[in-house]
Amino acid sequence: MFLQLFNEINSRKVNEEWNVFEGLFTNYMFGMILLITVFVQVIMVEFFGDFAQTTGLTWSEWLSSIGIGAISIPIGFLVRLIPVDHTAGRIEVKPRTFEGAVWEKDTPGGETEMAATRSAPAAAAITISGMENKSQ
C-alpha cells in the first residue's frame, strides 16, 4: 500500500532532477493528495475487511509496509542515474507540413485553442483544446 504513496513522491522529479523531497511541502494540493491516499488506504485495510478482502494490520506490519514502500525512494534515485537519450524517437517535421494552415488563438470561452484547416475539398478541421483532440 505504501509503495503507491512513495511512488507518488518519486514521480515528482524527472528529467535529471535528483531531490524528490525538494519543495515537497510547497504544493498544497500534492500534500492533500498524499494525505487522502494514506487515509483511504488505512480505512480500506482496517475497516472494509469483508468488502476489500483485507484484515487489519498490527503496528509492526504497518511499519514494515512503510519500510518496504520507502525502498522505492533510493531505487528511484538509482533509476535516475541511468543515462537517457532525450532525442531518441523524435522525428523531424518539415516546415511545409503546416503550409496553408490557419491558426486561431483565444476563443470566446477564454481557453487557448488552435485550429488547423486545409483548403482541400475534403477539408478536415482539427481542434486541439487542452488534452482533447477532436476531428470535425
pLDDT per residue as tens digits for the range 43-57: 888 887 778 787 888
Task: Specify if 90 maps to a domain.
Answer: no
Range of the domain at 127: 95-135
Q: Do residue 73 and residue 109 come from a single domain?
A: no
Of all residues in the chain, what percent carry a pLDDT higher than 70? 75
Q: What is the pLDDT of residues 12-44, one digit of tens each?
A: 877 777 888 888 888 889 889 889 989 988 888
Last residue of a domain, one of 33, 53, 80: 80
Q: Do residue 52 and residue 8 come from a single domain?
A: yes
C-alpha cell at 20: 524528490
Q: What is the pLDDT of residues 71-121, one digit of tens each?
A: 998 998 888 888 888 778 888 888 777 777 776 665 555 555 554 444 444
Q: Do residue 47 and residue 18 come from a single domain?
A: yes
Task: Specify if 32 maps to a domain.
Answer: yes
pLDDT value of residue 129: 43
Task: Specify if 86 maps to a domain.
Answer: no
Task: Specify if 123 maps to a domain.
Answer: yes
Task: Check: CB of residue 43 under 8 Å from CB of residue 57.
Answer: no
Enter the pTM of the model: 0.54
Which residues make Cβ contacts (< 8 Å) with residue 1, sequence separation at least 6? 41, 45, 65, 69
Q: Do residue 99 and residue 74 come from a single domain?
A: no
pLDDT value of residue 23: 82
Give me the sheet containing 114-116, strands edge to edge: 114-116, 126-129, 132-135
Q: Do residue 51 and residue 21 come from a single domain?
A: yes
Q: Do residue 11 and residue 71 come from a single domain?
A: yes
pLDDT value of residue 107: 54
- Residue 6: count other Cβ atoms within 10 Å of its Cβ: 19
Q: What is the pLDDT of residues 96-107, one digit of tens each?
A: 777 777 766 655
d(CA 97, CA 49): 58
Q: Do residue 23 and residue 75 come from a single domain?
A: yes
Q: Do residue 107 and residue 62 come from a single domain?
A: no
Task: Specify if 46 maps to a domain.
Answer: yes
Exposure string of 97-109, with b = 16+ CB inside 10 Å and e = fewer, is eeeeeeeeeeeee
Number of domains into which the chain is organized: 2
